[in-house]
């Protein structure tokens, strides 16, 4: 419900995430007025494969938007714009005449295109992809997922050639549905999402003809690439047409770029790290496209309207919060995610155990799809509480590897790390993070920075906020952790962690 402090008008933001979809309504000070959220099914058809039902996701999106509006006790007249942020890379293809997806969406964690990426590497070469798109050839990205669908769904190539099929990451899917679907929905994406496909040229910010051809994705199925903050259309589609008809859909950013925006990292050298299903650290590099030599990605940070694009370096970690979920759901060692902290605090240290969760291979800085998870250092002494510690430490050490790579590539020493995401409610993890980074870790008052970033971008697009300076003023520190670990312990533990990482490599043989 709104209160005396939260007079309208408001901006709504949809976060279509990996595990759930949520909608948050914000006021002009960037404060949360209401939230609604719904989880969707995680579908694991084979080891390494992860899918989502895009129709279920669209139904959930409509429900949470209507839910958040109802909880806020407001109507469409109180809302100036709606923004979108989304899990990136997850790929859906659908029939533009029926609005039906042709297959489940293939999720960013899915490794089924490993073989295809290796083949492309042999035929076309890794360097060209890195140079033009800023990305290594890896199953993580959307382009190869689209090619897999075209190759594996009966008759799809012919339907695509006939112009009946549309491609989208989840921003595109949600915007197309929001703005009318089969009745004239806008088929668009923003530069940040497009920069995760392996199909967009980072220098021109357009689909790259030669790369699309070598991956085997016809350009006619691709959406138009637009900025992250502009009006793409108005809400007209689905159940939401009745609730929100006419509201401008005014932003789209991949969730990690949205968090960079929501953390107000608007200056070169500012960085944030988001701790959710996976963990993603992004550093604003301004107008510079920095080629990484240390296993980071070069990506678009954001682009406001027709302003110059802002680029970023990114360290992507595939498995962090999902390791906690695995301890809960697959191992049954905890009942809730929060319990991992209580369990870990029941012992002094990791008892000599190190857990490298290479469930989808290893992302940054290694990009090794042949790696698989390892628990190293096991003895009879180790209990489930030690493993709980090792699980939390895995997130901290993986972050340390990324910050080392960021410093090498950008020359910027980390003064402090701004954090957000579901895992940041874990105090032990935040303290461990500060210890292993040997730097302060800072959490803002509004930890929902992903939605906040999308709301900020939408608000800028419609003049609700006038400049990024307005937004900076909204950022407030809620908590800070400072390092307590001595250098000797830190160095010894880091060495052990790196030894455990080595043991994950080469598990999957080429022919598997």
Ligand X SMILES: Nc1ncnc2c1ncn2[C@@H]1O[C@H](COP(=O)(O)OP(=O)(O)O)[C@@H](O)[C@H]1O
Q: At closest approach, how far in Å is the CB of 298 from ligand G3P?
A: 15
CA distance 463 to 456: 10
Residues placed in the known binding site for sn-glycerol 3-phosphate: 18, 88-89, 140, 255
Among ligand X, ligand G3P, none, what does residue 324 contact (CB within 5–8 Å per kind)?
Answer: ligand X
- The partner residues of 200 in beta bridges, in order of sequence, read 207
Picked from ligand X, ligand G3P, none, the partner binding residue 108 (CB below 5 to 8 A depending on kind) is ligand G3P
Candidates 12-20, 178-186, 310-318, 495-503 — which segment interacts with ligand X by CB under 6 A?
12-20
Closest separation between CB of residue 42 and ligand X, Å? Answer: 11
Residue in the shown chain whose Cβ atom is closest to ligand X: 422
Judged by beta carbon, residue 170 or residue 423, the one nearer ligand X is 423
Nearer to ligand X, 19 or 53 (CB): 19
Residue 339 C-beta: closest distance to ligand G3P, Å:
21
Residues 388-447 close enough to bind ligand X by CB under 6 A: 421-423, 425-426
Of 428, 424, 403, nearest to 415 (Cα)?
A: 403
Closest CA to 84 of 206, 181, 169, 198: 169
Query: Is the CB of residue 256 less than 8 Å from the CB of residue 282?
Result: yes
β-pairing verdict for 224-226 and 92-95 = unpaired
Q: Which residues contact 216 (CB under 8 A, 6 or more apart)?
A: 147, 150, 151
What tokens appear for 79 in the block?
A: 């809302």
List residues binding ligand G3P (CB under 6 A).
17-18, 87-89, 108, 254-256, 276-278
Residue whose CB is less far from ligand G3P, 88 or 147: 88
453 binds ligand X (CB under 6 A): no
Question: Among 6, 16, 18, 177, which residue sits at the site for ligand X (rule: CB under 6 A)?
Answer: 18
Residue 155 CB partners (closer than 8 Å, separation 6+): none
How far apart, in Å, do the first and last CA atoms of the chain sit?
A: 54
CB atoms within 10 A of CB 491: 11
Q: Phi and psi at residue 467, in whole multiples of 5°?
A: -155, 170
Residue whose CB is less far from ligand G3P, 87 or 369: 87
The entry of ligand G3P, ligand X, none that residue 422 binds, CB within 5 to 8 Å by partner kind: ligand X
Pairing of strands 441-444, 417-420: parallel
Dihedral over Cα of 199, 205, 208, 211: its sign: negative
Q: Which of ligand X, ligand G3P, none does residue 254 bind to, with CB < 5 to 8 Å depending on kind?
A: ligand G3P
Q: In Å, what is the CA distance from 63 to each residue of 71, 100, 101, 406?
A: 12, 19, 19, 40
Among residues 7, 331, 338, 415, the one that binds ligand X under rule CB under 6 A: 338
Binding site as annotated, residues for glycerol: 88-89, 140, 255-256
Q: Binding partner of residue 256 among ligand G3P, ligand X, none, CB under 5 to 8 Å per kind?
A: ligand G3P
In the complex, minimum distance from the CB of residue 71 to ligand X, in angstroms, rounded to a whole number = 18
48 binds, among ligand X, ligand G3P, none (CB under 5 to 8 A by kind): none
Could you tell me if 308 and 153 are in contact, meaning their C-beta atoms sit under 8 angstroms apart?
no
Contact between 321 and ligand X per CB under 6 A: yes
Binding site for ligand X (CB under 6 A): 17-20, 276-277, 321-322, 324-325, 337-338, 340-341, 421-423, 425-426
């Amino acid at each position: 419900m709104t209160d005396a402090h939260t007079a309208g008008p408001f901006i709504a933001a949809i976060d279509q995430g990996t595990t759930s979809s949520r909608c948050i309504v914000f006021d002009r000070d960037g404060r949360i007025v209401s939230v609604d959220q719904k989880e969707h099914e995680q579908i694991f058809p084979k080891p390494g494969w992860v899918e989502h039902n895009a129709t279920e996701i669209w139904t959930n999106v409509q429900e949470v938007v209507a839910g958040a509006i109802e909880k806020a006790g407001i109507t469409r007249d109180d809302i100036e714009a709606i923004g979108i942020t989304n899990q990136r890379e997850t790929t859906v293809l659908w029939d533009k005449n029926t609005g039906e997806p042709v297959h489940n969406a293939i999720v960013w964690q899915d490794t089924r295109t490993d073989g295809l990426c290796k083949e492309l590497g042999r035929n076309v070469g890794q360097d060209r992809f890195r140079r033009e798109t800023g990305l290594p050839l890896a199953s993580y990205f959307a382009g190869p997922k689209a090619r897999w669908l075209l190759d594996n769904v009966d008759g799809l190539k012919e339907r695509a050639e006939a112009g009946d099929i549309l491609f989208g990451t989840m921003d595109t899917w949600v915007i197309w549905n929001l703005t009318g679907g089969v009745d004239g929905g806008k088929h668009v994406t923003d530069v940040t999402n497009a920069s995760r496909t392996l199909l967009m040229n980072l220098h021109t910010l357009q689909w790259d003809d030669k790369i699309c051809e070598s991956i085997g994705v016809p350009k006619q199925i691709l959406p138009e690439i637009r900025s992250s903050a502009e009006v793409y259309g108005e809400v007209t589609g689905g159940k939401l047409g009745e609730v929100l008809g006419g509201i401008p859909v005014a932003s789209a950013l991949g969730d990690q770029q949205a968090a960079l925006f929501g953390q107000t990292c608007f200056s070169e050298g500012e960085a944030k790290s988001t701790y959710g299903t996976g963990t993603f650290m992004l550093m604003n590099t301004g107008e510079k496209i920095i080629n990484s030599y240390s296993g980071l990605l070069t990506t678009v940070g954001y682009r406001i309207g027709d302003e110059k694009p802002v680029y970023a370096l990114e360290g992507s970690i595939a498995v962090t919060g999902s390791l906690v979920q695995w301890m809960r759901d697959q191992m049954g060692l905890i009942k809730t995610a929060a319990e991992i902290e209580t369990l870990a605090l029941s012992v002094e240290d990791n008892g000599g155990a190190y857990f490298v969760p290479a469930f989808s291979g290893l992302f940054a800085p290694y990009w090794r799809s042949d790696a698989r998870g390892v628990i190293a250092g096991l003895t009879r002494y180790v209990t489930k509480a030690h493993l709980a510690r090792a699980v939390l430490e895995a997130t901290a050490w993986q972050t340390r590897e990324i910050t080392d790579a960021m410093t090498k590539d950008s020359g910027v020493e980390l003064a402090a790390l701004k954090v957000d995401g579901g895992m940041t409610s874990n105090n032990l993890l935040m303290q461990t993070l500060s210890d292993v980074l040997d730097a302060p870790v800072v959490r803002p008052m509004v930890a929902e920075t992903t939605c906040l970033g999308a709301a900020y971008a939408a608000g800028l697009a419609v003049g609700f906020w006038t400049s990024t300076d307005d937004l900076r003023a909204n950022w407030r520190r809620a908590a800070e952790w400072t390092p307590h670990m001595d250098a000797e312990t830190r160095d010894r533990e880091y060495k052990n962690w790196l030894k455990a990482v080595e043991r994950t490599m080469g598990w999957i043989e080429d022919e598997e």
